[in-house]
């Protein structure tokens, strides 16, 4: 059995921990003091937040995870065929936001990649997951990478630079604005990632707003807890004194911008303090915590082509609630 290689790009400089902490404090202080206060959705995922997100994926109302799984399940053969048709025979499967590597573990027997590269910001979690995966695929070359790929997609030399097949499931791209999504996709399509190669992308689709809003405001209140938990994380990161009982969860579909917005709304006038800062909120005032953009089959096809992919195809479910796209740079 091979041993997974592991490259931690989150800790290349010994001094990063402290400077990263300062960056976080600066960024959060700035966004909380802005006229329209906001918190980046990356702060949802502390330990409790990650557990709450897992719980969200089990909710009746939250259809994306299980719909995507159904599409994968029905199309593994087609996905394998698609990469062959793109001229890829020794794929390097690059898993963006691999987490527990479960989605890839199901894909690997079908795609038979030569190398598997799980990438995640959560380094310790990934180290364990890639070790477990190696036990299931003893001969697979695995190179785990701890890095924040939303900033740069420059991969270390240990990653094979031909036949790169990127895997970006879970509608994670929906957290980017369309401009940032284009920029991110352009990096994947760029010749520096190799001349032949492609991307499997899972993205949530526009649909009836009642269905969308229920998925982000479920009856048991799990998404509300997930949203409010961001304040606990901010209290910890900033030493702030947010009182969660002063805040209510709001989720609405902004049809014009084609996105679900999540906000936290102040129930009464309230003041929050951290370090030498304070911010007062009037009753009804909101903190914007997340955008989750929804695409159509056509709008995502157009975006992928605009990003530089020459061939784009998709698979969907019977209700067309979720799309899995294959975008490649060459082949037919």
Residue 78 or 177 with smaller CB distance to ligand AVJ: 177
Nearer to ligand AVJ, 91 or 230 (CB): 230
Using CB under 6 A, pick the residue from 120, 163, 217, 290 that binds ligand AVJ: 290
DSSP 8-state secondary structure symbol assigned to residue 169: -
Q: H helices of 34-165, where?
A: 47-56, 64-85, 102-111, 123-136
C-alpha radius of gyration, the chain, whole number: 21
Q: Which residues contact 5 (CB under 8 A, 6 or more apart)?
A: 142, 143, 144, 158
Contact with ligand AVJ (CB under 6 A) among 45, 184, 200, 216: 216
Question: Taking CB under 6 A as the rule, which mask of x and - marks residues 165-204 in contact with ligand AVJ?
Answer: -----xxx-xx-----------------------------
Does 122 engage in binding with ligand AVJ (CB under 6 A)?
no
**In a 10 Å sphere around its CB, with 0-12 CB exposed, 13-18 middle and 19+ buried, how is residue 151 labelled?**
exposed
Q: Give the nearest distance from C-beta 227 to ligand AVJ in angstroms.
A: 7
For residue 269, the minimal CB distance to ligand AVJ (Å) is 27
Selected binder of ligand AVJ within 67, 134, 193, 223 (CB under 6 A): 223
Helical H segments across the chain, by residue range: 16-33, 47-56, 64-85, 102-111, 123-136, 178-189, 209-215, 222-238, 297-307
The residue within the footprint of ligand AVJ, chosen from 286, 292, 301, 328 (CB under 6 A), is 292
Out of 7, 32, 52, 56, name the contact with ligand AVJ by CB under 6 A.
Answer: 56
By C-beta, is 172 or 265 nearer to ligand AVJ?
172
Contact call for residues 173 and 64 (beta carbons, < 8 A) = no
CB of 289 to ligand AVJ, least distance (A): 9
Minimum separation from the CB atom of position 95 to ligand AVJ (A): 15
Q: For 25, what's the count of Cα atoms within 13 Å in the CB-facing half-sphere?
A: 15
Residue closer to ligand AVJ, measured from CB, 116 or 168: 168
**Contacts by 217-224 with C-beta closer than 8 Å and gap 24+?**
217/61, 217/249, 217/251, 218/56, 218/59, 218/60, 218/61, 218/62, 219/61, 220/59, 221/249, 222/52, 222/55, 222/56, 222/59, 223/56, 223/59, 223/62, 223/249, 223/251, 223/262, 224/248, 224/249
Least distance in angstroms from the C-beta of 202 to ligand AVJ: 9
Q: For ligand AVJ, give the closer residue by CB, 20 or 172.
A: 172
Cβ atoms of 258 and 291 closer than 8 Å: no
Report the residue number, 163 or 217, with the smaller CB distance to ligand AVJ.
Answer: 217
Q: How far is the CB of 329 from ligand AVJ (least distance, A)?
A: 25
Q: Cβ closer to ligand AVJ: 56 or 199?
A: 56
Under rule CB under 6 A, residue 246 binds ligand AVJ? no
Residues that bind ligand AVJ in the complex, under the rule CB under 6 A: 56, 64, 170-172, 174-175, 216, 223, 290, 292
């Amino acid at each position: 059995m091979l041993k997974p290689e592991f490259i931690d790009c989150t800790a290349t400089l010994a001094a990063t921990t402290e400077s990263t902490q300062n960056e976080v404090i600066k960024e959060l202080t700035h966004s909380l003091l802005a006229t329209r206060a906001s918190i980046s959705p990356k702060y949802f995922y502390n330990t409790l937040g990650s557990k709450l997100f897992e719980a969200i994926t089990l909710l009746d109302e939250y259809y994306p995870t299980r719909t995507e799984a159904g599409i994968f399940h029905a199309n593994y053969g087609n996905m394998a065929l698609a990469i062959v048709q793109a001229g890829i025979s020794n794929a390097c499967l690059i898993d963006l936001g691999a987490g527990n590597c479960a989605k890839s573990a199901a894909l690997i027997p079908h795609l038979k990649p030569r190398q598997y590269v799980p990438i995640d910001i959560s380094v310790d979690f990934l180290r364990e997951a890639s070790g477990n995966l190696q036990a299931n695929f003893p001969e697979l070359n695995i190179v785990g990478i701890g890095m924040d790929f939303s900033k740069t997609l420059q991969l270390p030399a240990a990653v094979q630079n031909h036949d790169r097949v990127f895997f970006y499931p879970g509608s994670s791209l929906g957290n980017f604005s369309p401009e940032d999504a284009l920029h991110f996709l352009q990096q994947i399509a760029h010749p520096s990632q190799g001349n032949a190669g492609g991307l499997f992308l899972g993205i949530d689709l526009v649909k009836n707003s009642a269905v969308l809003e229920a998925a982000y405001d479920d009856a048991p209140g799990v998404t509300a807890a997930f949203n409010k938990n961001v304040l606990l994380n901010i209290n910890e990161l900033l030493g702030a004194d947010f009182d969660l009982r002063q805040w209510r969860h709001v989720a609405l579909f902004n049809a014009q911008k084609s996105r679900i917005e999540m906000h936290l709304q102040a129930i009464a006038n309230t003041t929050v303090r951290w370090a030498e800062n304070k911010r007062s909120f009037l009753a009804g005032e909101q903190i914007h915590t997340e955008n989750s953009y929804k695409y159509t089959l056509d709008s995502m096809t157009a975006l992928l082509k605009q990003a530089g992919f020459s061939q784009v195809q998709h698979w969907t479910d019977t209700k067309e609630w979720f799309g899995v796209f294959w975008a490649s740079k060459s082949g037919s």
